[in-house]
Amino acid sequence: MAGEQPYATEQTKQLEEVLPILIEKEKQGLILPSTEKAKSLLNWIKYKPLTEKEQLLVGRLILRANRKHKGGGNITVNTTQVNTVDTDAVVAKVLEKVGAAKVDTDAVAALVLKELDKRVPRKVEIFIKKEEDKAAKKVNGPVHKEFERLLKVLNTRVNGFAPGVFLKGEASSGKTTGCRMAAEALGLKWHFNGAISFPHEMLGFIDGAGKYHRTPFREAYEFGGLYTFDEVDRSDAVALLAVNPHLANGVATFPDKQIKRHKDCILTCTANTWGLGADSDYSGATKLDAAFLSRLPVRIGWDIDPELETAIVANPEWLAMVRAARIKARAVGLKVLIDTRAAQAGAALIQAGYTMQEAAEMTYLANLKHEQRLQVGAVI
């Protein structure tokens, strides 16, 4: 059969075009396995025309690729080669090397391109458009500079579920608010809890009367929603080990029964550190087990965003004073917290009639010693 022209049709050309979409949808768990069927059909037309039944199957595969999926939306895949190849230049170099008088240049070019196609990975850009995207553009209030990245991550799927996301940032940088706004943008209910000391604070418990007490994590796991484990690096490390299996698997055992994870259950964590233990700024942070951290493979830095801070602190003159103190403290290595919450609180005090100096005394200067106040440029 070698050398025969394939029995290509417009329909099979369409199938070849949507094959990357089928692959991506299959990875995300949006459709039943279809990739191998599509590849087999595309290979089969090299040898004989497709039967009527096979043509119907091709049509169904094309429909699967183009169909909207609840929770997944439309997926388009742009496939491009990482690098372009000047075939004439490649052939010229080959001729120069081999020094042959008669060479089939087309055959050489085809061979070179075939080998390059094997070695150079294709760059595939995935764009997922969900109906919730309209809502995502109408989030109430200003957003953090990393918010769009967070939304894109939460729209991806790994083995049918969104990957766990770990947000690390300094105090008052808006990590928790960002998760709440992401839930709003995605049209999901938001569930959250703070640091835990015991496993039952996440998994729930059965009381003496036999009644099971639910938790925010259980609600999100069973019925869907965006769950935020706030201040996770303040939790007891042993308690976290007990919930490890629930964060990565598609089924979890709770005190009352086993539950299958809802397809729209999205897991996020926030922390001041990357889970590597206490540092000079956050002395109470816990060192998180590597097995726990592996359940949250996507990590996003979420420090104070100056533009967002400007938008939410109403007094520009006061904010400039706070920022100047923050910069000076960092420059001299002073380990004090001068955060956005202090800026917001001070602006409210000034609005209520206090002077800027009084607002500073009651916020970021309150716990500083005399020499530390001098270092941050405070008026004594």
* Four-residue CA torsion sign, 18, 23, 29, 31: positive
| Residue 112 belongs to a domain | no
How far apart are alpha carbons 27 and 159 in whole angstroms? 6
- Same domain membership, residue 162 and residue 185: yes
Could you tell me if residue 101 is inside a domain?
Answer: no
Parallel, antiparallel or unpaired: strands 74-81 and 122-129: antiparallel
Q: Among 145, 153, 152, 156, which Cα is nearest to 178's? A: 145
- On whether both 48 and 12 belong to a single domain, the answer is yes
* Domain span holding position 3: 1-79
Helix and strand numbers, DSSP H then E, in the chain: 17, 11
The reply to whether 323 falls in a domain is yes
Same domain, 62 and 208: no
pLDDT digits (tens, 9 = 90+) for 124-172: 333 444 444 443 445 667 889 999 899 999 999 988 899 999 999 998 8
Determine contact, residues 210/251, Cβ cutoff 8 Å: no
Q: Is residue 97 part of a domain?
A: no
Rounded CA-CA distance 21/11 in Å is 16
Q: How many CA atoms lie within 13 A of 331 on its CB side?
A: 9
- Based on the fold, state whether residues 33 and 155 are members of the same structural domain: no
CATH of the domain at 266: 3.40.50.300
C-alpha distances in Å from residue 245, one per residue of 31, 151, 198, 261, 285: 26, 25, 15, 12, 23
Does residue 352 share a domain with residue 258? no
> Could you identify the residue written with the tokens 């997926």?
75
Q: pTM above the 0.85 mark?
A: no
Q: Is residue 128 part of a domain?
A: no
How far apart, in whole angstroms, are the C-alpha atoms of residue 234 and residue 286? 6
Same domain, 190 and 243: yes
pLDDT digits (tens, 9 = 90+) for 207-219: 999 999 999 999 9
Same domain, 276 and 340: no
Residue by residue, pLDDT tens for the chain (380 residues) are 444 556 667 777 888 877 878 877 776 666 777 788 877 877 777 667 778 878 888 888 888 777 765 444 444 444 444 444 555 566 566 666 665 556 565 566 566 555 555 544 433 333 444 444 443 445 667 889 999 899 999 999 988 899 999 999 998 899 999 999 999 889 999 999 999 999 999 999 999 999 999 999 999 999 999 999 999 999 998 888 888 888 877 899 999 999 999 999 999 999 999 999 888 778 888 899 888 899 999 999 999 888 888 888 989 899 998 988 888 888 878 888 899 999 999 999 999 999 999 999 999 999 888 888 888 877 65
293, 363: one domain: no
| 150 and 218 inside one domain | yes
Asked which of 241, 275, 300 is the last residue of a domain, the reply is: 300
Q: Which of 162, 176, 166 is nearest to 262 (CA)?
A: 162
Q: Are residues 296 and 345 in the same domain?
A: no
Whether residue 306 lies inside any domain: the answer is no
Residue where one domain finishes, among candidates 276, 300, 324: 300
Return the pLDDT at 32: 72
Residue-level length of the chain: 380
Give residue 228's pLDDT. Answer: 96
Q: For residues 157 and 281, state if they share a domain.
A: yes
308 belongs to a structural domain: no
pLDDT recorded at residue 375: 84
pLDDT at 73: 47
Q: Tally the domains of the chain.
A: 3
End-of-domain residue from the set 39, 57, 79: 79
Asked whether residue 159 falls in the same domain as residue 190, the answer is: yes
- Complete DSSP assignment for 192-221: EE---SSTHHHH-EE-TTSPEEP-HHHHHH
Q: Say if CB 302 and CB 144 are below 8 A apart.
A: yes
Tell me if 105 is assigned to some domain: no
Instruction: Return d(Cα 307, Cα 316) in angstroms, integer.
Output: 12
